[in-house]
Structure 1
């Protein structure tokens, strides 16, 4: 499995950023292209670009401001996927957000990194205005 990382600095406190990205069922509120996001237990179903993706919550640590999930089932061009979004405190009014993704096949990793980098840009725009 190949791992890639998207990252961005956001001029908002980590708690505020975490309140947005740490909500497993809130993806459709900040990631463009996501038409709907529903959660049942620890599984979320995403409707995006004519596809249905099913993702399973692997872990969520509010103290560490980290959430990990994996794509399960059909719908994505991968045989394995795990991603972790982490919000790091960079001072009173600043945060760094990383989105690590490990996927198979390896050649899909840069594509996911680029998608996640774009989504982090949307988080920045949403929070900074």
Structure 2
């Protein structure tokens, strides 16, 4: 199993960042490798920029911990096991630390997933400031 972790400090309140992260169906708004997403609070479908479809289940959406976890449960990629975890941690009233970790099997899928997560995490500060959350 491969693991990956990315993080970024963003000058926004943790509540504002949490509203974006916890809105499961709208991940395509801030994750560049995802061209479309739809779903509910319990599950979502994402379409990658390359056209592959993934079915994801929301495992945890805990507003008190500000922890969001999801698992890839089906779709076009041969995922055997997956867990993504996003934590939003308050550093100051208007500053947050976002930590995005993922575990995936087979490990070969991490070669594509890792850089995609890095790009999403690195782009979050700009997204949050452009849309004034």
TM > 0.5 between the two?
A: yes
> What is the 5 A alignment of 1:104-115?
104-115=105-116
- Alignment pair present for 1:10 and 2:10: yes
Q: Is the 8 A contact 1:58 1:70 kept in 2?
A: yes
- Aligned residue pair count: 129
Once residues 103 and 31 of structure 1 are traced to their aligned partners in structure 2, the CA distance between those partners, rounded to angstroms, is: 18
CA-CA distance at 1:72 after TM superposition:
1.1
Normalising by structure 2, report the TM-score. 0.87
Q: Is the 8 A contact 1:6 1:114 kept in 2?
A: no
The change in CA–CA distance for 1:108 and 1:74 in structure 2 (over 3 A counts) is same
**Structure 2 SS opposite 1:81:** strand
Q: Which runs of 5+ in 1 are unaligned?
A: none
Q: Which runs of 5+ in 2 are unaligned?
A: none
Q: Which digits, 9 at most, give the CA deviation of each residue in 1:36-89, with x for residues without a partner? A: 211146221112221111111111101111110011113224321110111011
Once residues 61 and 76 of structure 2 are traced to their aligned partners in structure 1, the CA distance between those partners, rounded to angstroms, is: 24
Normalising by structure 1, report the TM-score. 0.89
The corresponding residue for 2:95 is 94
Moved over 3 A (4+): none
